[in-house]
Amino acid sequence: MRNSEQPTWRDRIIRCDGPTLYSVAGAVIVVVLVGLWVLLTSPTKQQPVVAVDDEGMYGGLRHPLTGARVDEPTKPAVYAVVIENSLDARPQDGVDRALMVMEAPVEGDITRWLAFFSADEIVEEIGPVRSARPYFVDWATDWDALFAHVGGSSESLALIRSKGTLNLDEFFNTATFWRSKRRVAPHNVYTESKRLEDAWERVVGREVDYKGFEFEEMDPTTVEPTVITVSYGNRYYDVEWKYDPTTNRYSRFHNGSAHIMRNGSSIEVSNVIVMFTDIRVLDDEGRKKIRTTGEGEALVMRAGEAVEATWKRDGLNERTHFVLISGDEAALVPGKTWIHVVPIGAEVTK
């Protein structure tokens, strides 16, 4: 080091010249201590908070159609697709993936389905898609669902216009549907969730708030398998639901055979509901008028038990819900739901 120069900071440290060494060491200690404090006091990655009430019941967010627990509010687009259930239409496609299905009689003492899907479920083939009926329009409007169908009765088409239903008629939206070469008309119209999603953006283009059912996790109430039968007065359309306590779900059967989709999948749901209502024949073609508002008797089956209830719908712009004798809304088991609409006095065994 030149005599004319003052010691550099490096020289001071090496020579331990003056107070510099102590100052630097102190600064280093402070930095280390601050770092340790930040490390020890910083929160770890937070897990989603699970809301639980005083009785240990989950009180957090759920999917409006299935009751599945979700971390954030979910407003998925909902599609309601009219599905054929005639013998010529079986086996169907995609209905095993539907989150909710409403089954009701149409002409000829056969039944037809209104299958609800949401945008967070990818289904590559749904069908056969068939024509609308007024009661299907009502139930689709319950959920502000995009209503997918192939034409319909004159009454149903008039109702769609008057109610402002989110309408997706194949006659005017051919890009959303296709005609399958595997089947003959009119049992050959199909769609898929991706095309329905594109149609939602085109026809609706907004989020919709859904008030879903009440849901509650329930353990099986029995260790024995049970069978529920729902009669539509036609053995080809009478339904059996077989409850399996090991899965806490119901499987759909016809005449002792499982109702199988074309891909080999069976139909399994967590809840089976029967709505009894006024149904009368309108004309020589057998078209039905089904009362969809007011109230009536219902059976709610979940977790292996059948509970008497009342279905209620206060108006055409209200959602159908199910109320127990206590006055509380009937809680469903999280999962898929199948709703049968039958005439008053229909035979249901449980």
pLDDT at 198: 97
241 and 133 belong to one structural domain: yes
Query: At CA 306, angle to CA 305 and CA 308, rounded to 5?
Result: 145
Pairing of strands 321-324, 305-313: antiparallel
83 and 20 belong to one structural domain: no
Q: Which domain holds residue 122?
A: 78-349
Is 255 or 12 the better-scoring residue by pLDDT? 255
169 and 231 belong to one structural domain: yes
| Helix-helix angle 154-163:134-142, to 10 degrees | 30
Query: Cα separation of 142 and 320, whole Å?
Result: 7
Q: How far apart are the first and last CA of the chain?
A: 102
**Mean pLDDT (whole number) for 147-174:** 96
Query: At CA 213, angle to CA 211 and CA 215, rounded to 5?
Result: 130
Q: Is residue 61 part of a domain?
A: no
The CATH number of the domain where 317 resides is what? 3.50.90.10
pLDDT for 291 beyond 80: yes
* 215-243 tens-digit pLDDT: 999 999 988 889 999 999 999 999 999 99
How would DSSP label each residue in 298-310?
Answer: EEEEETTEEEEEE
Q: Which of 242, 227, 211, 163 is nearest to 321 (CA)?
A: 211
CB-based contact 136:103 (threshold 8 Å): no
pLDDT for 35 beyond 70: no
Single-letter residue type at 45: K
Q: Is residue 297 part of a domain?
A: yes
**Mean pLDDT (whole number) for 194-207:** 94
Q: Is residue 69 part of a domain?
A: no
pLDDT for 43 beyond 70: no
Three-state SS at 186: coil
**Mean pLDDT (whole number) for 36-47:** 47
Q: Is residue 156 part of a domain?
A: yes
pLDDT at 207: 85
The number of distinct structural domains making up the chain is 2
35 and 92 belong to one structural domain: no
Q: Is residue 64 part of a domain?
A: no
Query: Cα separation of 165 and 97, whole Å?
Result: 24
* 309-331 tens-digit pLDDT: 999 999 887 889 999 999 999 99
Three-state SS at 182: coil
23 and 123 belong to one structural domain: no
31 and 91 belong to one structural domain: no
86 and 147 belong to one structural domain: yes
* 106-132 tens-digit pLDDT: 998 899 999 999 988 899 999 999 999
316 and 209 belong to one structural domain: yes
Name the percent of the chain lying above pLDDT 90. Answer: 70
36 and 102 belong to one structural domain: no
pLDDT for 44 beyond 80: no
pLDDT for 210 beyond 80: no
107 and 197 belong to one structural domain: yes
Alpha helices, DSSP H, located in the chain: 9-15, 20-41, 134-142, 154-163, 193-203
149 and 28 belong to one structural domain: no
pLDDT for 31 beyond 70: no
172 and 284 belong to one structural domain: yes
